[in-house]
Amino acid sequence: MADKNDGAGFTIGFITGIAIGLAIGFLYAPQPGKETRKLLKEKAEEAKGKAAEVAEKVKETATEARKKAQAKLEEVKEKAK
């Protein structure tokens, strides 16, 4: 069976990679620990929000695809009669 991935996995992985890369970059940046922790917290919250947006878009896309597939199935059933 073919795997029908619409890019959601890639997008989530991409965002996760960005968040990890930013975290590592901040840890190696020449700033006091308190500032670095504050910056990491802010960026983590931003990443969480973006991930939630992506998840919502994926959910909407999946719902639309399901509706289209159901409509097409009904169309095929009608033609088969």
- Which pLDDT value is given to residue 1? 39
Q: For every one of its 81 residues, what pLDDT tens digit does the chain have, with 9 covering 90 and above?
A: 345 556 677 777 888 888 888 778 877 777 777 887 888 788 888 888 888 888 888 888 888 888 999 998 888 888 877
- What six digits make up the tokens of 62? 């999946």
Q: In the chain, where are the structural domains located?
A: 8-80
Distances (CA, A) of 15 to 2, 29, 40, 46, 75: 25, 21, 15, 11, 39
| Other residues' Cβ atoms within 10 Å of the Cβ of residue 58 | 16
- Which pLDDT value is given to residue 33? 75
Is 22 in contact with 41 (CB distance < 8 Å)? no
- Which pLDDT value is given to residue 5? 59
